């Protein structure tokens, strides 16, 4: 992708008060890339409910994630964005009491179907977490970890590590200290290392849960650039609280909110609206979306 | 030499602006008292250790004035009470080494296995019930273990079920039971070390397509290594120093142990037996106790030092 394609022009008509319009890329650029009304789904939620114990955290979510697109999940805290994200690669299996109903179709097969091995699922649908969580190992071993445990057939691990770190835009910063602990890196570098670690196993889909929330604006921009580069090879789903981030990088955006049950007071996450990012930010069809993105929420 | 101060040395400091809040501290006598109390608490264990070494050293040195160190360390006949005296400590050392080795052979796999199960596989409810039971086992007095060795392990388990020819007293039975005794120590401390490993690391590993065993072996264990080594070292120290079980079940005859079905006297077993008898203070017999005690102390220290080096070398700190 040629970076000059990305002319800078505000994409958000009613920009939120805290928006920095100079960083919002062109809506035109985005639409050139994604024009179809419905994405070709690699991964798709069909009527997904997630419960923690008896508590319904999200209800009735149907959402396609387009091939080689970035999909952003936005919405207020507690509306179930992380919950939905974790249900996409069966990370909820690790949470006690979590239960997922409905289907999550990955290339047309339900990842919760009988005989499906969650380990195979996670190998293809990787995840980057909110807080950088490198292993307490060397930078090299962090990247090599996935290929080693999944028994990937690699000719030269050194080459793989180098290529992966290059793709994660980290190579130049770490090439002289590959054998040093990953904990010696800055937070932003650690997060890029975690992204590198994830792409080292050549997944199909990368799920990211607020990957920049612990980072400063410059590190954030680097990760955003990285995601935009990675989009050509991967399908990316990102949860973010940063509206400009969604506007800057996402092809499509899904807005969630929490419905409050009148009798029990339970807050259940629901999907309000899913559309092209430009549509969500410029001309949302639901007033709740509009209230949220214009900062009138709550 | 530059200093961080912006005012040149010797220059008068400017007076505070009028109405500036006072930053002068009040004296805090309680703070000082508390600090000294805590300091004393920390110093106590150091002082006691030094005290032990000193109290061991005096009689032990007296012993080595009569028995050359080399004879003591390399001799293979231990007969301090016979007319034909001999002070080769190797029979005691081999007995201790064998019991410790057998104990570890039992306790490390089972203790680590239990810890891995509790920390990585068991559901929270199971863990909540099993862990206290395990810790209860750690509190069983060692005399009870000694009689367990004598009345069950040797006759029923070893001779009856496994068909191993052991006498009433044997290194094997004592070592096995010692292993049972140490399992909870190793399991409980290792489990603590493993549960302290952040959940985020397990999730990161799972998200890369690692299975639970891989996550445990490649991420959790290395990260918990220093705690696990500490647990094993405590287990070794307890095995080397364990007295009651060997006094009851290992036998009393000091002989070079070449086969664990033999009976034998360990260093601690000898000390216990000898200390019960009447040896005149200052006599060679009396000093012998301290020489063996000093050796025990040095061995335990050596194990600890080796362990510290190991941890330095291999730990992966999170
Ligand atoms: N492990 C869990 N056990 C029980 N309830 C949970 C668990 N994780 C999340 N929840 C509940 O599910 C609901 C959705 O949580 P989730 O973390 O998915 O929200 P979120 O949209 O990601 O919020 P945030 O933006 O603050 O990260 C919340 O009410 C939360 O309390
Ligand atoms: Mg979240």
Helices (H), B67-170: 69-74, 90-116, 124-138, 142-148
The number of residues making up chain A comes to 298
Taking the CA of residue A263 and the nearest CA in chain B, the distance in Å comes to 32
Q: Does B8 touch chain A (CB under 8 A)?
A: no
Helices (H), chain B: 29-66, 69-74, 90-116, 124-138, 142-148, 171-195, 199-207, 212-214, 221-223, 225-241, 244-249, 267-276, 284-314
Reduced to 3 states (helix: H, G, I; strand: E, B; else coil), residue B169 is coil
B78-79 and A70-74 strand pairing? unpaired
DSSP-derived secondary structure letter, B283: S
- How far is B318 from B310, CA to CA, in rounded Å? 17
Say what the pLDDT of residue A298 is. 45
Say what the pLDDT of residue A123 is. 92
- Classify domain A39-131+204-293 by CATH number: 3.40.50.300
pLDDT single digits (tens) B57-75: 999 999 999 888 888 898 8
Query: CB–CB of A197 and B204 under 8 A?
Result: yes
Nearest CB among A119, A120, A135 relative to B201 is that of A135
Give one DSSP letter per residue of A133-178, joined into a string: ---SSBHHHHHHHHHHHTT---S-HHHHHHHHHHHTT-HHHHTT-T
Query: CB–CB of A135 and B205 under 8 A?
Result: yes
Nearest CB among A127, A149, A197 relative to B214 is that of A149
- Give the residue extent of every domain in chain B: 79-314
> Which ligand 1 atom sits nearest the alpha carbon of residue A84?
18
- How far is A89 from A100, CA to CA, in rounded Å? 11
B86-87 and A205-209 strand pairing? unpaired
Task: Give the number of other Cβ atoms within 10 Å of residue B182's Cβ.
Answer: 28
Q: Count CA atoms closer than 13 A to A246's CA, side-chain side.
A: 31
Tell me, in angstroms, the distance from the centre of ligand 1 to residue B107's CA: 41
**What parts of chain B have a pLDDT lower than 70?**
1-12
The residue whose CB lies within 8 Å of the most ligand 1 atoms, and thus the one to mutate among A59, A61, A82, A208, is A82
Say what the pLDDT of residue B12 is. 67
Say what the pLDDT of residue A26 is. 45
Query: CATH second-level architecture of B79-314?
Result: Orthogonal Bundle (1.10)
Q: Does B166 touch chain A (CB under 8 A)?
A: no
- How far is B304 from B241, CA to CA, in rounded Å? 13
Say what the pLDDT of residue B318 is. 73
Query: CB–CB of B211 and A150 under 8 A?
Result: no
- Give the percent of chain B with pLDDT over 90: 51
- How far is A33 from A68, CA to CA, in rounded Å? 10
Q: Does B198 touch chain A (CB under 8 A)?
A: yes
Q: How far is CA B61 from CA B79, B141, B269, B292, B302, in A?
A: 19, 34, 22, 11, 20
For residue A238, what are the β-bridge partners? A72, A208
Say what the pLDDT of residue B261 is. 85
Nearest CB among B124, B208, B316 relative to A96 is that of B124
- How far is B231 from B311, CA to CA, in rounded Å? 12
- How far is A271 from A79, CA to CA, in rounded Å? 9
Contacts of B318 in chain A (CB under 8 A): 136, 183
Q: In this prediction, does ipTM exceed 0.90?
A: no
> Which ligand is nearest to the Cα of residue A76, counting in written order?
1
Query: CB–CB of A149 and B208 under 8 A?
Result: yes
A98-106 and A109-110 strand pairing? antiparallel
Give one DSSP letter per residue of A97-138, joined into a string: TEEEEEEEEETTEETTSTT--HHHHHHHEEEE-SS----SSB
Neighbours of ion ligand 2 (CB under 5 A): A 82
Say what the pLDDT of residue A12 is. 37
Tell me, in angstroms, the distance from the centre of ligand 1 to residue B130's CA: 30
- Report the alpha-carbon angle B157-B163-B169, nearest 5: 60
Query: CB–CB of A133 and B223 under 8 A?
Result: no
Q: Does A17 touch chain B (CB under 8 A)?
A: no
- How far is A292 from A287, CA to CA, in rounded Å? 9
- How far is B19 from A154, CA to CA, in rounded Å? 72
Say what the pLDDT of residue A90 is. 94
Say what the pLDDT of residue B4 is. 54
- Written as tens digits, the pLDDT of chain A (298 aa) is 444 443 333 333 333 444 333 334 444 444 556 655 667 788 999 999 999 988 999 999 999 999 899 999 999 999 999 999 999 999 998 888 899 999 999 998 999 999 999 999 999 999 999 999 999 999 999 999 999 999 999 899 999 999 999 988 899 999 999 999 999 999 989 999 999 999 999 999 999 999 988 778 888 888 899 899 889 889 999 999 999 999 999 999 999 999 888 887 888 999 999 999 999 999 899 999 999 988 875 4
The dihedral built from the CA positions of residue B107, B110, B111 and B113, taken in this order, carries a sign that is: positive
DSSP-derived secondary structure letter, A58: E
């Amino acid at each position: 992708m040629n970076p000059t394609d990305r002319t800078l022009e505000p994409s958000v008509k009613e920009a939120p008060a805290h928006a920095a319009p100079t960083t919002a890329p062109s809506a035109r650029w985005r639409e050139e890339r994604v024009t179809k009304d419905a994405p070709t789904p690699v991964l798709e939620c069909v009527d997904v409910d997630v419960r923690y114990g008896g508590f319904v955290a999200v209800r009735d979510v149907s959402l396609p994630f387009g091939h080689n697109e970035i999909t952003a999940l936005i919405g207020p805290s507690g509306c179930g964005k992380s919950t939905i994200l974790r249900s996409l690669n069966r990370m909820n299996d690790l949470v006690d009491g979590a239960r997922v109903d409905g289907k999550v179709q990955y290339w047309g097969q339900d990842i919760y179907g009988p005989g499906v091995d969650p380990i195979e699922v996670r190998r293809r649908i990787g995840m980057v977490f909110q807080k950088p969580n490198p292993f307490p190992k060397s930078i090299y071993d962090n990247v090599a970890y996935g290929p080693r445990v999944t028994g990937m057939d690699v000719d030269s691990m050194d080459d793989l590590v180098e290529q992966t770190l290059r793709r994660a835009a980290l190579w130049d910063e770490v090439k002289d200290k590959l054998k040093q602990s990953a904990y010696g890196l800055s937070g932003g570098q650690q997060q890029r290392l975690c992204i590198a670690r994830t792409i080292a196993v050549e997944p199909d889909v990368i799920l990211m849960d607020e990957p920049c929330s612990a980072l400063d604006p410059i590190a954030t921009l680097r990760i955003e650039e990285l995601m935009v580069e990675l989009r050509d090879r991967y399908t990316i789903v990102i949860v973010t609280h940063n509206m400009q981030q969604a506007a800057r990088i996402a092809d499509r955006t899904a807005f969630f909110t929490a419905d409050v049950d009148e009798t029990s007071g339970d807050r259940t996450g629901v999907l309000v609206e899913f559309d092209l990012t430009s549509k969500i930010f410029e001309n949302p069809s639901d007033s709740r979306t509009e209230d949220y993105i214009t900062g009138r929420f709550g | 030499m530059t200093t961080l101060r912006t005012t040149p040395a010797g220059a008068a400091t400017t007076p505070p602006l009028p109405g500036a809040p006072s930053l002068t501290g009040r004296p805090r006598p309680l703070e000082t008292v508390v600090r000294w109390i805590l300091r004393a608490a920390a110093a106590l264990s150091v002082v006691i250790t030094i005290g032990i070494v000193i109290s061991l050293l005096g009689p032990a040195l007296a012993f080595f004035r009569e028995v050359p160190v080399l004879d003591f360390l390399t001799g293979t006949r231990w007969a301090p009470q016979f007319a034909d005296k001999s002070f080769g400590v190797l029979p005691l050392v081999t007995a201790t080494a064998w019991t410790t080795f057998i104990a570890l052979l039992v306790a490390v796999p089972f203790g680590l296995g239990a810890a891995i199960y509790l920390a990585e596989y068991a559901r929270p409810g199971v863990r909540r019930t099993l862990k206290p039971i395990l810790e209860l086992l750690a509190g069983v007095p060692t005399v009870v273990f000694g009689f367990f060795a004598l009345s069950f392990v040797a006759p029923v388990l070893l001779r009856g079920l496994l068909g191993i020819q052991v006498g009433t007293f044997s290194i094997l039975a004592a070592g096995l039971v010692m292993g049972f005794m140490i399992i909870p120590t190793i399991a409980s401390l290792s489990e603590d070390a493993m549960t302290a490993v952040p959940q985020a690391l397990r999730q990161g590993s799972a998200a890369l397509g690692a299975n639970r065993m891989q996550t445990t072996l490649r991420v959790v264990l290395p990260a918990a290594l220093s705690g696990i080594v500490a647990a094993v070292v405590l287990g070794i120290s307890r095995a080397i120093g364990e007295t009651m079980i060997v006094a009851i079940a290992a036998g009393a005859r000091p002989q070079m142990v070449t086969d664990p079905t033999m009976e034998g006297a360990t260093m601690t077993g000898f000390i216990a037996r000898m200390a019960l008898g009447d040896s005149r203070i200052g006599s060679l017999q009396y000093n012998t106790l301290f020489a063996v005690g000093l050796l025990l102390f040095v061995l335990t220290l050596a194990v600890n030092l080796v362990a510290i080096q190991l941890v330095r070398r291999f730990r992966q700190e999170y």
